[in-house]
Structure 1
Amino acid sequence: MSAAYVPYSQTGYFSKTICDYLGQEQAVRPFYHRFPSLEALSDQIQEKQGTAVCEAKWRETLSQSLMAAYGGVSMSEATANNIESLKAPNTFTITTGHQLNLFTGPLYFLYKIVSVINFCKQAKQTYPDHNFVPVYWMATEDHDFDEINYFNFKGSKVAWNRQDGGAVGELSTEGLQEVSQVIGAAMGKSIQASYLRELFENAYLKHDDLASATRYLANALFTDQGLVIVDGNDPALKAAFAPYAKQELLAQKGHEVISATTADLVAAGYKEQVHPREINLFYLDQGLRERIVQAGDQFVINDTDLTFSKAEILEKLEAHPEQFSPNALLRPLYQEVILPNLCYIGGGGELAYWLQLKDYFDAVEVTFPMLMLRNSALLITEKQMGKWERLDLSVADLFKKQEALAAHLVKQHSGLPLDFEPQKKHLKKQFEALYELAKQTDPSFEGAVAAQEKKQINGLKNLEKRLRKAEKRNHKDRIQRAQELRDAVFPANNLQERKANFSEFYLEAGDELIPLLLEQLDPFKSEFSVIRL
């Protein structure tokens, strides 16, 4: 088992924003604080240490709250030790976040968590006097059920069909017995399949809500790695965020500052990832998560009959801060005011909206974390890679789109000159003499020469296309085998990690899957990993 690497910019699957960020281009420099490195970690630690989130009283509250949140979920000694260590002034977190996708959803769920775990290990080696805790922030307050109610297994969609409403973390796991039966039938009868069925049943059939089920699942997959799982939908944690929520309600500074930064990003040639609202908060209640909108002197809960005066909504915030939920743009702030966090690790889309936030963090005087792109990987079996290499194709060739791959194979294996550039240059040289002759006679003759040149060049281009098409037919078998292989590892022409579920690869690698990822994925290596199973 080994890995090869391809620069992100050469894969064709990453945005200009992310490629420029990884290249530390000057245009993107104003939108982040420190580029992530082990060397920069020292300055980030020093800056974070002086903030309220690192005070002893809050650390005690945070540790107690996290310990209580685990409830009946059995945690490893490493996780318990990490939660306890958060009380110490020399302990910091490295955080990633993800939705509560059914059975982890896309494969990159694992890559996010592996990235934070490996970051912490390397940080500890570099700074042995400090503790670094890997954190998975569960997006329990999201309400987009259609984004999380399924996962893909070998090209088929396994879905949980039920009514949605409110924060997804509070959704009952009722109805997942049927999904469990589908999984049991699809995965076969191997030892690995039995483990996956048991894992699903223990997570979803023995826990009452989606947040508890996801906590169990992530804890089981990374039981020995000290992963700490945070559910932000917690009264004690929300109380610490309440002053910022109050400021958002009254001053609406988020909209003002984030809009200005977003305009600067767009002017620099980058896209807006998330559009800021006038109030970037939701109101939470049983079965309800709706935007808070100001209408004159009133605060209205969108699509409901609920209305509050200024005094009433501030009273509600003070008494029940857990009923106020940050949206995608304010959630990062919430994270950073309750965790002694140094770095956020996320996907390209996440980092793109974090880049909209630096000026806002400065405005509310909260330390902006380092931002790191999570690891991305392609898992390919030895058998698949062997077939690929027998076609004389490289790892980098995997990322060629189908037409480009076919053209590459024809060019590589055809014994004929498929490029007519020499003939085109020779033809242009011949016409140069005709143009000189045309200048000495009637002007209309020059137009006739140009028309004839264009006709001849187009003729060569058409012959070139016909030759390539003929050679494609001659190499049809080779091209078909290559394209079928590529389709297998790039489902629907998309990155495997965005479509496939980890279960497919657990069936192949078993208990070695996560140790393999921990061994091969380096968060500080800014390249796409191709890992052989």
Structure 2
Amino acid sequence: MPTQHIAYADTGYFSKTVCDYLSQDASLKDFYGNFPTLENFKNQIDQKTEYFSDTARKVLVAQLNSQYKGVAVSESTQNNIDALANANTFTITTGHQLNLFTGPLYFLYKIISVINLSEELNVAYPDKHFVPVYWMATEDHDFDEINYFNFRGKKVVWDRPDGGAVGEFTTEGLQRVFLAFENELKESFGFTKNAKQLLKLFKEAYLDHGTLSEATRYIGNQLFKDFGLVIVDGNDKLLKSAFVPYAKKELLEHLSFNKVSQTTAALVKSGYGEQVHPREINLFYLIEGVRERIIETDGMFMVNDTDITFTEKEILMELEAHPERFSPNALLRPLYQEVILPNLCYTGGGGELAYWFQLKDYFKSVEVPFPILLLRNSAVLILEKEIKSLGKLGLKLEDLFKKQIDLQADYTRKISEIEIDFTKQREHLKLQFKEMYTIAENTDASFIGAVAAQEKKQLKGLNHLEKRLLKAQKRKYKELLDKVTRLQNSVFPQQSLQERNTNFSEFYLNNGYSLISKIKKELKPLDLRFSVIDL
């Protein structure tokens, strides 16, 4: 089956904000810059060229080379790192948490989106060069969001104490996770060639590297090195030095709070939600084992849940001496990223785009170009056996996107030899009562009320009978409905998007490394539709 595409609005899984953005609804236009089309990248290139300096490029290249020390860098990745020194080279960036063994499938989709878009732009603008970048969220502290991955309906979990930036966590304890994963693979598939490759990747990443950031870089590099992916760790003293002027404004002027609050109020007034709530200071203080909010009270700067305090003079001295200790939160990280990268486009999920929409006015106030925002590719991988099941059950692919209760009801109505639809009976009843209302109009008002009450009662009774008939037919066709439910659960685990639950390893077992190239071939970043890929 060739790859099929479905409008995001028709899947039932994407927010009004996302769907309105993709349709370029007028109510959102004030909250983003250039819309993601090939033609609009010319304007974006002009804006970034004027802003980004040669000095910033030199610092970036030096630090990337430093971060890649000890890593087996592919020729294409090294060429891309070197090219970033040139004024005609730009990045296409996505970011993601350091999920254990990449976490859900959309980790792959994010990175493939930026790789494919970079390749497309390299063709469209041959005098420029475009580099795909994965920004590792090494400074995040939400360990419970990343300490597991799902495998065949089970959680493979890494238990360890929390605290501080996750990228600095040692890989202690992952030997037990490796053994648990090894046992799951053995029981499910045996030690096939692809299973051994998965175990090798896990072992070399987590047991042969000292920190979570090093392990994640290794996995990203192994999976995508053939495509020139450059992986950036923002938790870097020299890179953060460029962000010092913006961090200073944040501490002294609360600039992001004021601007983002105004933009958020306008978003809400336009009918959209607040994705991230701005703080007066959107910076964390980061030292070993600690990443806590900086709070200003009566001229003193305190680090939340610690005894650390600074005067204004002291915190500015600390910022100059140790910029690495100042960690931007979700609202400030986009600015940091755009300050240190010659970036044209940020590619992210719907939730990410929603908080970027809160930032446009803030970017303007600090005179940093606002990037093109691109919804990452979203897809479901469907197996041949699942396609055959669709045919045998007489289902269309679109049926699987329905809520399960609706799918079961619609399928029962479809296969039932009895029509489970009392619409005709309801219309007939309403006609009868129309005559009764005519009679009632010639009497007093209380009789009209009695007729209305009786109509409501009888319509309610018909609705109840229809539901009873549907329930009875569901029991009759239980075996077929169970097959329909199992099929939907297979494609949409936990009645949600596969990409948010399933780890790539389940598909790697049958496809090996060709899984990456198969997905890459089918995803088109500027085709703003949901993809269904036949594996």
* TM class by smaller structure: over 0.9
Distance in 2 (alpha carbons) for counterparts of 1:20 and 1:209: 41
Report the CA distance between 1:443 and its aligned residue. Answer: 4.0
* 2:184 counterpart residue number: 186
Distance 2:531 2:430 in 1: 46
Q: Is the 8 A contact 1:117 1:225 kept in 2?
A: yes
The answer to whether residue 80 in structure 2 is matched with residue 82 in structure 1 is yes
Tell whether 2:38 aligns with 1:38: yes
1:308 is matched with 310
Residue 377 of structure 1 aligns with which residue? 379
State the partner residue of 1:133. 131
Cα separation, 1, equivalents of 2:435 and 2:208: 86
More deviation, 224-233/506-515: 506-515
Match of 2:324 among 319, 322, 325: 322
CA deviations over 1:351-382 (Å, ceiling 9, x no partner): 11111100000011100001011111111210
One-letter amino acid of the structure 2 residue matched with residue 30 of structure 1:
D
SS of residue in 2 equivalent to 1:525: coil
Mapping of residues 295-374 of structure 1, within 5 Å: 295-374=297-376
3-state SS in 2 of match to 1:485: helix
Using the TM superposition, name which of 71-80 and 259-268 deviates more: 259-268
Name whichever of 325-334 and 150-159 sits farther off. 150-159
2:277 aligned with 1:256: no
Residue in structure 1 matched with residue 21 of structure 2 by the alignment: 21
* Cα 1:436–1:43 shift into 2, 3 Å: same
Q: CA offset at residue 476 of structure 1?
A: 1.9
Report the equivalent of 1:405: 407
Q: How far apart, CA to CA, are the structure 2 residues paired with 1:335 and 1:6?
A: 32
Quick one: distance in 2 between partners of 1:285 and 1:438?
80
Quote the Cα distance in structure 2 between the aligned partners of 1:417 and 1:308.
74
Return the letter of the residue paired with 2:420: L
**Partners of 1:60 and 1:301 in 2: how far apart?**
33
What one-letter code is carried by the residue in structure 2 that aligns with 1:125?
Answer: V
Q: Distance in 1 between matches of 2:448 and 2:285?
A: 74
State the match for 2:156 in structure 1: 158
Provide the aligned length of Structure 1 versus Structure 2: 531
Give the superposition deviation at 1:457.
Answer: 2.1
User: Does the CA contact (< 8 Å) of 1:219 and 1:227 recur in 2?
Assistant: yes
Equivalent of 2:112, from 111, 114, 128? 114
User: 1-side partners of 2:376 and 2:77: how far apart?
Assistant: 22
Tell me what 1:391 maps to.
393
- How far the C-alpha of 1:43 sits from its partner, in A, is 0.7
- Secondary structure, aligned partner of 1:135: strand
Instruction: Tell me which moved more, 216-225 or 434-443.
Output: 434-443
Q: Is the 8 A contact 1:47 1:367 kept in 2?
A: yes
Contact 1:90–1:129 (8 Å) recurs in 2? yes
Q: Which amino acid aligns with 2:62?
A: Q
Between stretches 464-473 and 360-369, larger displacement belongs to 464-473
TM-score between both structures, scaled by the size of structure 1: 0.97
Question: Match of 2:61, as an amino acid?
Answer: S
Identity of aligned residues (%): 58
Structure 1 position 442, deviation (Å):
4.4
Q: 2:71 aligns with which of 70, 73, 97?
A: 73
The secondary structure found in structure 2 opposite 1:223 is helix
Distance 1:307 1:440 in 2: 83
Q: 1:147 to 1:459 in 2, by over 3 A?
A: closer
Whether the 8 Å contact between 1:4 and 1:395 is mirrored in structure 2 is no
Cα displacement string for residues 100-141 of structure 1 (whole angstroms, at most 9, x for unaligned residues): 111101111001000000111111111111100000000011
Q: Does residue 60 of structure 1 match 2:62?
A: no
Partner of 1:485: 487
Q: Which SS does the other structure have where 1:50 is aligned?
A: helix
**Residue 499 of structure 2, aligned match among 480, 490, 497:** 497
**Residues 128/433 of structure 1: CA separation in 2 closer, same or farther (3 Å cut):** same
Q: Distance in 2 between matches of 1:507 and 1:337?
A: 40
User: In structure 2, what is the Cα distance between the partners aligned to 1:58 and 1:356?
Assistant: 26
For residues 318-348 of structure 1, the C-alpha deviation after alignment (integer angstroms, 9 at most, x for no partner) is 1111111111100000000010100000011
Distance across 2 between alignment mates of 1:472 and 1:176: 47
Match of 1:198 in 2: 200
1:66 deviates by 0.6
Instruction: Answer yes or no: is the 8 Å Cα contact 1:2–1:520 preserved in 2.
Output: no
Report deviation, 1:414.
Answer: 2.2
Contact 1:123 1:132 in 2 (8 A): yes
Shift of 1:19: 1.2
- Distance in 2, Cα, partners of 1:59 & 1:528: 36
1:297–1:461 distance in 2 versus 1, CA, 3 Å: closer
Aligned to 2:422: 420
Unaligned 5+ runs, structure 1: none
Distance across 1 between alignment mates of 2:463 and 2:46: 63
Instruction: Kindly indicate whether residue 296 of structure 2 is the aligned counterpart of residue 294 of structure 1.
Output: yes
Corresponding position of 2:12: 12
In 2, are the aligned partners of 1:31 and 1:356 still within 8 Å (CA)? yes
Question: Counterpart of 2:476?
Answer: 474
Distance in 2 between residues matched to 1:123 and 1:467, nearest whole Å: 57
Cα shift readout 1:471-513 (whole Å, capped 9, x = no counterpart)? 2223222211001111122222121111111111101221221
Relative to structure 1, is the Cα distance of residues 70 and 427 closer, same or farther in structure 2, using a 3 angstrom cutoff? Answer: same
Unaligned 5+ runs, structure 2: none
- 1:445 aligns with one of 425, 444, 447: 447
Asked whether the 8 Å contact 1:97–1:138 carries over to 2, the reply is yes
Query: Is 1:168 matched with 2:170?
Result: no
Shift of 1:433: 2.0
Q: Is the Cα–Cα contact under 8 Å of residues 152 and 499 in structure 1 kept in the other structure?
A: yes
The structural deviation recorded for 1:527 is 1.3
CA distance in structure 1 between the aligned counterparts of 2:134 and 2:525, rounded to whole angstroms: 16
**2:273 maps to which residue?**
271
Residue 13 of structure 1 and its aligned partner are, at CA, apart by 1.4
Q: Deviations over 1:435-483 (max 9, x none)?
A: 2222223444333333332333223222222222222223222211001
SS state at 1:110 partner:
helix
Deviation at 1:247, TM superposition (A): 0.8
Partner of 2:94: 96
Question: What code does the residue aligned with 2:152 have?
Answer: K
Summarize deviations over 1:39-84 as a string: whole Å, max 9, x none: 1111111111100x2x222212211111111110111000000000
Provide the C-alpha distance between the structure 1 equivalents of 2:241 and 2:515, rounded to a whole number of angstroms: 40
- 1:231-256 deviations in Å (ceiling 9; x for gaps): 00111100111110111111110111
> What is the root-mean-square deviation in Å for CA atoms of aligned residues?
1.3
